[in-house]
Amino acid sequence: MTIREFQQLMHDLYFDHDSKRGMGGTFMWFMEEVGELSTALRSGTKEEIEGEFADAFAWLTTLANLADIDAEAAVARKYGTGCPCCKTIPCSCPQKP
C-alpha cells in the first residue's frame, strides 16, 4: 500500500467523523497517539510498538486529509532527492548536538 492509498483509506473510513471533530480536536488525538508511541518505544513489545506506529501514522494522514495535503507528494517533494539541506544520500550535514 502506498502512502497515497493509505491516506485515501483513512479518508474513506473516517473523514466524516474527522471533519466534524475539526483540526484542533484531531490534532489532540494525534498527540495522544504520539504519547502512546513514546510509551511503547520505552517499554513495549515489538507488536505494541508496531501498532502504535500504525496509529500515529493514521492520525498524521488524517490531519493531512483535513488540511487538504497529499502526504505522499509532500514527502516526495521534501525528501525525494535526499536530505532537504545538503541534498545528499546519506545526509552529510554536520551533526548537531
- Quote the pTM value: 0.90
What is the distance, to the nearest Å, from the Cα of residue 33 to the centroid of all Cα atoms in its chain?
A: 11
**24-27: which pairs have CB atoms within 8 A and are 24 or more residues apart?**
26/59, 26/62, 26/63, 26/66, 27/63
Percent of the chain with pLDDT over 90: 97
* pLDDT number for residue 17: 96
* pLDDT number for residue 8: 98
Domain made up of 3-79: CATH architecture: Orthogonal Bundle (1.10)
80: three-class secondary structure by DSSP? coil
Query: What are the residue ranges spanned by the domains of the chain?
Result: 3-79
* pLDDT number for residue 95: 83
